[in-house]
């Protein structure tokens, strides 16, 4: 599966609806300091089910909602939608008949998040597992945050093990085992 489109509305500094087509090959995001490059990457991680607001540089999940400026009032809702193509047939079995997958996450102040896959309400877990299986989860080593290289070098062995497990693609299995043990 490949990311083909990212849409944001009310997410961090992206207050106006923003629609980005992701072409095949390498994509570069350039711009002056503070223009929102890291926010874009965070939007992608967020829609994949990121549950740690700290790793989104926020002090609560509602902080991802546009907080207003002197010119514009704050918003009460943020939404991010990512589209993925299944042209290589690598989607999980239950989505094999779909050409594209559209995953959305929406948050309303004090109401928490709601997720959808192709218009159908799903749990956060469903979205996290979808991406964990595709080895592109919000904690995937494919997404390297600003300052993260230094963190990995200085990480404790346990934390480094998690990074290696993600890279080996077995995090989805761990999550499933944990769910099975809870049942
Ligand atoms: P750098 O080149 O310094 O890494 P960047 O392009 O990565 O910069 P970001 O860190 O993505 O920039 O964007 C920071 C901007 O986003 C700041 O101006 C900050 O005020 C704004 N911002 C972050 N959260 C919100 C929010 N909830 N509402 C409004 N603006 C926000
Ligand atoms: Mg940045």
The CATH number that applies at residue 169 is 3.40.50.300
Task: Please tell me the total count of domains within the chain.
Answer: 1
- Residues with Cβ within 8 Å of 152's Cβ and at least 6 positions away in sequence, in order, are 160, 163
Ligand 1, atom 26, lies closest to the CA of 12
Q: How far is the CA of 65 from the centre of ligand 2 (A)?
A: 18
Q: How far is the CA of 59 from the centre of ligand 2 (A)?
A: 18
pTM: 0.85
60 is in an annotated binding site: no
Host domain of residue 127: 2-182
152-174: average pLDDT = 80
Ligand 1 atom at shortest distance from the alpha carbon of 36: 11
37 is in an annotated binding site: yes
Ligand 1, atom 13, lies closest to the CA of 36
CB 138 within 8 A of CB 45: yes
Q: How far is the CA of 36 from the centre of ligand 2 (A)?
A: 7
Q: What value does the mean pLDDT of the chain take?
A: 90
154 is in an annotated binding site: no
- Residues with Cβ within 8 Å of 171's Cβ and at least 6 positions away in sequence, in order, are 132, 137, 139, 162, 165
Residue 5 CB neighbours (<10 A): 15
Task: Compute the distance between CA of residue 125 and CA of residue 7 in angstroms, rounded to an integer.
Answer: 21
- ipTM of the complex model: 0.98
Ligand 1, atom 20, lies closest to the CA of 13
Task: Compute the distance between CA of residue 55 and CA of residue 74 in angstroms, rounded to an integer.
Answer: 22
Q: 3-class SS at 29?
A: coil
How sure is the predictor about 177, in pLDDT bands with cuts at 50, 70 and 90? confident
pLDDT, tens digit, 9 for 90 and up, residues 106-149:
999 999 999 999 999 999 999 998 988 776 677 776 777 788 78
Q: 3-class SS at 31?
A: coil
């Amino acid at each position: 599966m490949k990311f083909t489109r990212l849409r944001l509305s009310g997410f961090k500094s992206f207050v106006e609806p923003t629609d980005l087509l992701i072409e095949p090959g390498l994509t570069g995001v350039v711009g002056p300091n503070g223009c929102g490059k890291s926010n874009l990457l965070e939007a992608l991680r967020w829609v994949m089910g990121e549950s740690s607001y700290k790793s989104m540089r926020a002090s609560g999940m509602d902080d991802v909602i546009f907080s207003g400026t002197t010119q514009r009032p704050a918003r009460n809702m943020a939404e991010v939608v990512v589209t993925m193509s299944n042209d290589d047939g690598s989607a999980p079995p239950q989505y094999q008949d779909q050409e594209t997958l559209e995953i959305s996450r929406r948050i309303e102040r004090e109401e928490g998040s709601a997720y959808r896959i192709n218009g159908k309400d799903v749990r956060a877990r469903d979205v996290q597992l979808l991406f964990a299986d595709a080895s592109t989860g919000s904690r995937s080593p494919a997404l390297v945050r600003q300052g993260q290289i230094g963190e990995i070098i200085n990480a404790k062995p346990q934390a480094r093990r998690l990074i290696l497990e993600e890279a080996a693609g077995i995090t989805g299995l761990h999550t499933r085992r944990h769910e099975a043990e809870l049942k």
